[in-house]
Amino acid sequence: MNTAPDSFSENELHAYVDGKLTPERRAEAEAFLANHPEAAAEVAAWQAQNKAIRAAFGAEPVLGARDRALVAGLSRGGRGHTRRFALAAGFALFFLAGGGAGALLTAALQQDAPVQIAQMLPEASKANYLIYAGERRHPVEVAASEEEHLVRWLGNRIGRTLHAPDPSEKGFSLVGGRLVPFAEKPGAMLMYENGSGDRVTVLIGVNSGHEGTSFRFNETDGVSTFYWADNGFGYALSGAVGRETLLGLAHIVYAQY
């Protein structure tokens, strides 16, 4: 009598989703998943992701194991709920697809994207960037040297625990932050700068009553903005930097929130 295996590699689970296991190994995978609900949930999410790609493009998925690993990594760390996974998968696919195909796919993954936040976030973020990023002497109200005070103050004003994401792996460091208006409520703006003097702003604002949006990209007047909403808050990054640079920074902000 066969018994269910105690472990199954992630690569083999990807092969299971893609229908590339032998019949015997597939049966073992199904036995393993029956006894491991967390792995089964992750596999079900991958299958749903494949279905969304086919629905959006009428084609089979083209993601490799490395790409799926990025999607899977974004869905972990206590963020395993279905809607949260859809946002994570949408982000990863947007990032990997360079925005075009990903923008369509996130619409398939996230059907209830509210119009309001999609209209407000990019404009508000772009406006803050244009107003403050060029300011040399007073770009922020509270400098990075007072980071603990900064995040506590801004967090209290917007009603959530706040921290400053660390994008140092991309060469950016915190300049500081300030309180800004967003949708007639307080919003938090953090500013980052790299060694070349390029600046990027992060806007975080209350999005109560609208649980989430897909990940979207906007570019006007030389300013790129990548934005999304999740868990009652809206997030937007703006800067006059390349799209890949901005998306890499957005990936870090998303992963750290």
Q: Which CATH homologous superfamily contains domain 115-256?
A: MucB/RseB, C-terminal domain (3.30.200.100)
CATH 3.30.200.100 boundaries in the chain: 115-256
Whole-angstrom distance, CA of residue 155 vs CA of residue 149: 10
Mapping DSSP onto H, E and C, the string for 55-81 reads HHHCCCCCCCHHHHHHHHHHCCCCCCC
Q: What share of the chain is helix, strand, coil (3-state, %, to 5)?
A: 50, 20, 30
| Strand ranges for the chain from DSSP E | 142-143, 172-182, 185-194, 199-206, 212-220, 223-230, 233-239
Other CB atoms within 10 A of residue 145 CB: 10
Whole-angstrom distance, CA of residue 194 vs CA of residue 171: 5
pTM value surpassing 0.95: no
Whole-Å CA distances, 126 to 9, 84, 254: 44, 26, 19
Token reading at 205: 């604002």
Q: What is the pLDDT along the chain (257 residues), one digit of tens a residue?
A: 455 567 788 778 878 887 888 999 998 988 888 888 788 877 776 776 666 555 544 445 555 554 555 555 544 444 444 555 555 555 555 555 554 444 444 444 444 444 455 568 889 999 999 999 999 999 999 999 999 999 999 999 999 999 999 999 999 999 999 999 988 889 999 999 999 999 999 999 987 665 556 678 888 889 999 988 887 888 999 999 988 899 889 888 888 87
Angle at which helices 10-17 and 65-74 cross, to 10°: 110
